[in-house]
Amino acid sequence: MKQILNRRHMKKTVYFILFLTLSISALFFFQVWQNNRDIPAPATAEIQQHFDRSINWLNDNYAQLKDSNNPILWWFIKQAALTSDDKTLDHLFKQYKKERIDSEPVNLSTPMFEPLYRPRIPDISAFSGLDAYQIFLFYGFSCDADLGSEPLIQQQLEPDFCSLHFIHPRCVTHQLMGLRFMQRFECGNEDKVANTISTLQETLVTELTWDFRVTDSYIQRVLLLLDTGAYDKIKPVWIKNILLAQNPDGSWDDLLPLLPLSDGRVLALTSTTVKIQKQKASFHASAQAIWLLSMLIEESGHQRD
């Protein structure tokens, strides 16, 4: 009798696991379908509305955002101001530059704001506490020949550098940022860089096809496709998803809510993990989205022409 009960229990367990697996698989493939369905491209006016809301958020929160210790986020704002010719964005960037960049000694990030400046690059051992992509960015800013000859830099010139890119969802986009700075500052072999960028564009399309989480990394992928000249590879639904993910205050965050909890908290997916926290604006995600929308509006104008 005990053996019969154990068998029944085992059967129920197997059936439950099978049901759970099928349910999760069905939900996953439904989300993938949703993320790749064919829809009309968002109208320029719609994108402009979201862009204006994001500028209002940036303007309202400038006092806190100017103290960000990540200057490349303000470089994104600079690019958005140049692309859009928006007076508010231009004013905010110039104010940040005056208060934070011009008042401090030049450093390794200065070329982002003063393109003619080339910093003196220390031996690579001085970068031991940094991620590989950060060192790659410093090479792109400086075009330093000694740093460029280092294996860590040479490896990031290859399209297979991010072999586990689904586990590290920003690896390819960070690599592309470094390659784009190499192009901007005319570092290295032009054809080599262009060929690697072309291959990595296809990798981003694959990531966007299967990873439906509209988080920071999702925005970054679409941004880098557009920045590298691959507008034709961007599906309209990806743009629409980013517009829908904008918060009521005009910002974006790195959360895909799954379940509302108490005290305003949510169970959510992020770019890399699962978290329980309150939704709050992310300057990292928002700065990228602002630059992205500015380029989408510009591209819409080109399409009409």
> Concatenated DSSP letters for 16-59?
HHHHHHHHHHHHHHHHHHHHH---PPPPHHHHHHHHHHHHHHHH
Residues 122-157 pLDDT 10s: 999 889 889 999 999 999 999 999 999 999 999 999
For the cut 70, the answer to whether the pLDDT of residue 279 exceeds it is yes
Overall pTM surpassing 0.85 (yes/no) = yes
Alpha carbons 289 and 216: distance in angstroms, whole number = 9
What average pLDDT score do residues 275-285 get? 91
For the cut 60, the answer to whether the pLDDT of residue 109 exceeds it is yes
Q: Which range, of 131-140, 210-219, 243-252, 271-280, averages the lowest pLDDT?
A: 271-280
Question: Do residues 141 and 147 touch, judged by C-beta distance below 8 A?
Answer: no
> In the sheet where 265-269 sits, what is the strand order?
256-260, 265-269, 274-278
Contacting residues for 89 by C-beta, under 8 A, at least 6 apart = 55, 58, 77, 80, 81, 290, 294
Q: Which residue has the higher pLDDT, 89 or 304?
A: 89
Q: Which residue has the higher pLDDT, 224 or 18?
A: 224
What average pLDDT score do residues 145-172 get? 92
Alpha carbons 35 and 218: distance in angstroms, whole number = 11
* Two structure tokens written together for 120: 């003196």
For the cut 70, the answer to whether the pLDDT of residue 196 exceeds it is yes
Phi, psi at 187, each rounded to 5°: -100, 145
For the cut 70, the answer to whether the pLDDT of residue 231 exceeds it is yes
The pLDDT value given to residue 137: 96
Instruction: Count Cα neighbours of 88 within 13 Å in the Cβ-side half-sphere.
Output: 12
Q: Which range, of 11-25, 27-41, 221-235, averages the lowest pLDDT?
A: 11-25
Question: Do residues 135 and 175 touch, judged by C-beta distance below 8 A?
Answer: no
For the cut 80, the answer to whether the pLDDT of residue 84 exceeds it is yes
| Cα radius of gyration rounded to whole Å, the chain | 22
Residue with tokens 């003063």: 114
Alpha carbons 8 and 14: distance in angstroms, whole number = 10
- Of 179, 230, 237, 232, whose CA–CA distance to 31 is shortest? 237
Residues 25-70 pLDDT 10s: 766 667 888 899 999 999 999 999 999 999 999 999 999 999 988 9
The pLDDT value given to residue 305: 54
What average pLDDT score do residues 223-233 get? 97
Q: What are the C-alpha distances in Å from 220 to residues 57, 114, 184, 224, 251?
A: 19, 24, 19, 6, 15
The pLDDT value given to residue 238: 98
The pLDDT value given to residue 281: 93
Q: Work out the mean pLDDT of the chain and round it to a whole number.
A: 90
Q: Which residue has the higher pLDDT, 90 or 34?
A: 90
* Two structure tokens written together for 222: 């679409």
Alpha carbons 276 and 266: distance in angstroms, whole number = 5
* Two structure tokens written together for 122: 């220390």
Q: Which residue has the higher pLDDT, 199 or 8?
A: 199
The pLDDT value given to residue 1: 56
The pLDDT value given to residue 191: 96
Helix (H) or strand (E) holding 274: strand 274-278
- Of 237, 230, 201, 231, whose CA–CA distance to 301 is shortest? 231
The pLDDT value given to residue 15: 62
Length of the chain: 305
Phi, psi at 106, each rounded to 5°: -60, 150
Q: What are the C-alpha distances in Å from 14 to residues 10, 11, 20, 30, 253?
A: 6, 5, 10, 24, 39
Q: Which range, of 71-75, 221-225, 246-250, 265-269, averages the lowest pLDDT?
A: 265-269
For the cut 90, the answer to whether the pLDDT of residue 167 exceeds it is no
Instruction: Count Cα neighbours of 174 within 13 Å in the Cβ-side half-sphere.
Output: 19
For the cut 80, the answer to whether the pLDDT of residue 165 exceeds it is no
Instruction: Count Cα neighbours of 66 within 13 Å in the Cβ-side half-sphere.
Output: 17
For the cut 90, the answer to whether the pLDDT of residue 212 exceeds it is yes
The pLDDT value given to residue 19: 56
Which residues, in sequence order, are bridge partners of residue 205?
none
